[in-house]
Amino acid sequence: MELEHDVPDVVLLDEYRLRQVLMNLASNAVKFTESGSVTIAISRQAADEAGKVGLRFAVKDTGIGIAKDKQQQVFAPFTQEDGSITREFGGTGLGLAICRQLVELMGGEIALESEKGVGSTFFFTLTVDVLQQSADALADCSGKTVQVLAPDPRSVEIVERLRHESAFFGIEMRVSHTLCPVTEPVDAVIYCPMHDDDLEPVLKQVHGLFPNVPLLLCSQHSTDLRSVDESVDGIISMPLLGQRFAKVVHNAFTQKRAQATTIETTAVVAKVATEAVETIQHKILIVEDNQVNQRVAGLFLTKAGYDCDFANNGKEAVDMIKTEKDYHAVLMDCMMPVMDGFTATQNIREWEQGLGKASVPIIALTASVLDEDISKCFDVGMDDYVAKPFKKNVLLGKLEKIAEPA
């Protein structure tokens, strides 16, 4: 993620539509990039009207690229530049057609630059209102002092971004490039890990240097977080977007106060939460060809106490439904290679009817905002749908509503 420093902190735009466009473009980029990188870049552009600014959004990849004579066709539904890879990767034209519609609805125009065998860049510019918003909603952060520990000399850009965010929310930030105690008290510590850190012993050392002080970890995509959840009071994910930084700091302060004053209540809540997780354990089949979407959905459901299986296309899903005795519900992507979600759902419903089995609830996962596509989900036998990119509370709410335990 590349976010230029002169991009305004707070703007007014259609967050939901923008999220859909970027998710579709990024998913396509990942799908067609076997090696190299995928980057989302946001930069500032001049705008003609006072109080407004142009924001250029670009999704760049080092994938298979698109030949010049094919580039105007990729925004048409159900087209794909290289027909030989349709079976392996599935059609992506619907996603790009949706992207074009959504960008136009937001007042922009989408375009691409690409070279066969080198990569592609899809980009668009939106004119948005710049908001002069204070940090009143997070006033608890104002006046706090945060100690940043950044032993890696390559963390300069991260430290500067943290400094910018701290100043915006009224937080005093101090920086140290070594792991050593400080003489003046601080309200929180942020540790920026080195690339080769074994985090567990390092975080223990930091806790020893700053006992009873909230410890936050500044995480990049390469940071392995599997063993540190219990060792830190919050994780600041890069890049720093919106109020992400201040919210994590605010939550850390709030949690520390709660731990100090309501230990008994916290223990009871934790016990109830543990029991709830233990009693749910319903198995959900997630059918999705995009690995990122698989992980996101799996993370949401696992943390909510569900047990998850995964299928990469509709054919795998049909086979798993027929061999697995009982799935509580199925999350079914609509556009996939080998067999799409519509065909898979029809096959599952026919198989259930033939055996006289009860219908397993199927919830569509769709990037489409078109009424005819939503109607098709119900026509083939799906029970509900969730629009991509899905939000945790919406996804869990649909499951609770449609797949209540017997």
Percent of the chain with pLDDT over 90: 32
Q: Say what the pLDDT of residue 265 is.
A: 41
Which run of H or E residues covers position 371? helix 371-379
How far apart, in whole angstroms, are the C-alpha atoms of residue 237 and residue 252?
A: 14
Provide mean pLDDT across the span 231-240.
Answer: 79
Phi, psi of 246 (to 5 degrees): -65, -35
In degrees, to the nearest 5, what angle opens at C-alpha 189 toward C-alphas 5 and 186?
110
Is pLDDT larger for residue 9 or for residue 176?
Answer: 176
The closest of 126, 131, 132, 129 to 19, measured between CA atoms, is 126
Which run of H or E residues covers position 385? strand 384-387
In tens, the pLDDT along 185-235 reads 999 999 998 876 778 888 999 999 998 899 998 876 555 555 566 778 888
Contact 275, 390 (CB under 8 A): no
The residue behind tokens 């806790």 is 207
Query: Tell me, what amino acid is at 372?
Result: E
Residue 248 has pLDDT above 70, yes or no: yes
In tens, the pLDDT along 170-185 reads 889 999 999 888 888 9
pTM above 0.85, yes or no: no
Contact 287, 348 (CB under 8 A): no
In tens, the pLDDT along 125-160 reads 999 988 765 545 456 677 889 999 999 887 888 888
Chain-centroid distance of CA 297 in Å reads: 10
Detail the DSSP E strand segments found in 344-405.
362-366, 384-387
In tens, the pLDDT along 266-315 reads 444 444 444 444 444 689 999 998 887 888 888 889 888 899 999 999 99
Domain architecture of the chain: domains with CATH: 2-132 (3.30.565.10), 145-254 (3.40.50.2300), 283-403 (3.40.50.2300)
Q: Say what the pLDDT of residue 200 is.
A: 84
Contact 253, 246 (CB under 8 A): no
Is pLDDT larger for residue 25 or for residue 259?
Answer: 25
In tens, the pLDDT along 336-374 reads 888 999 999 999 999 999 998 889 999 999 877 667 778
How far apart, in whole angstroms, are the C-alpha atoms of residue 341 and residue 85?
A: 19
What SS3 state is found at 147? strand
Strands lying side by side in the sheet with 188-191: 172-176, 145-149, 188-191, 215-219, 234-237
What SS3 state is found at 146? strand
Q: How many residues does the chain have?
A: 406
Contact 96, 112 (CB under 8 A): no
Percent of the chain with pLDDT over 70: 81
